[in-house]
Amino acid sequence: MNIKVRDFEHTIQKFQLKTRNAGDRLAWFEYEGKVITRTRRSHRRGDLPFSDKIRTQLMLNEEEFRRAIQCHLSKEDYIEILRKKGLIPPLT
C-alpha cells in the first residue's frame, strides 16, 4: 500500500506523534514519557517509498494501517493496539 506525504502527516498529527526535521522527517510516539514507536519519511513529495516500513515501524498490520490512513483509527484505538501487542502496559 502506497501512501502520500499528506496521509503520513495527517496520521502522525492524529496519533500526536512528536516530530523533528533532520535528513528525513522523524516521528515518534511517546506514552507516559517513554518512546514506544518511531518512524521516518523522506522529504520528497507525492507517494512515499517504503510505506510498508512506515507501517511496521508504527507496529500496525495492513488493515490497521489502512484504517489509520482513512481516518477510522483514533489515537485511543492506536494505544489499544499497542497495548494488545504488549508495547504499552495494561491499565491497572
Cell match 514519557: residue?
33
**Which SS3 state, helix, strand or coil, does residue 75 take?**
helix
User: Going edge to edge, which strands form the sheet with 18-21?
Assistant: 18-21, 25-31, 34-41
For residue range 1-48, list pLDDT tens digits in order. Answer: 778 888 888 999 999 999 999 988 999 999 999 999 999 988 777 777
As a whole number, mean pLDDT of residues 59-87 equals 94
Q: What is the pTM of this model?
A: 0.86
Strands (E), 12-76: 18-21, 25-31, 34-41
Q: Averaged over 36-64, what is the pLDDT?
A: 87
* CB contact at 8 A, 6 and 63: no
Confidence band, pLDDT 50/70/90 cuts, at residue 67 = very high
Q: Which residue has the higher pLDDT, 2 or 65?
A: 65
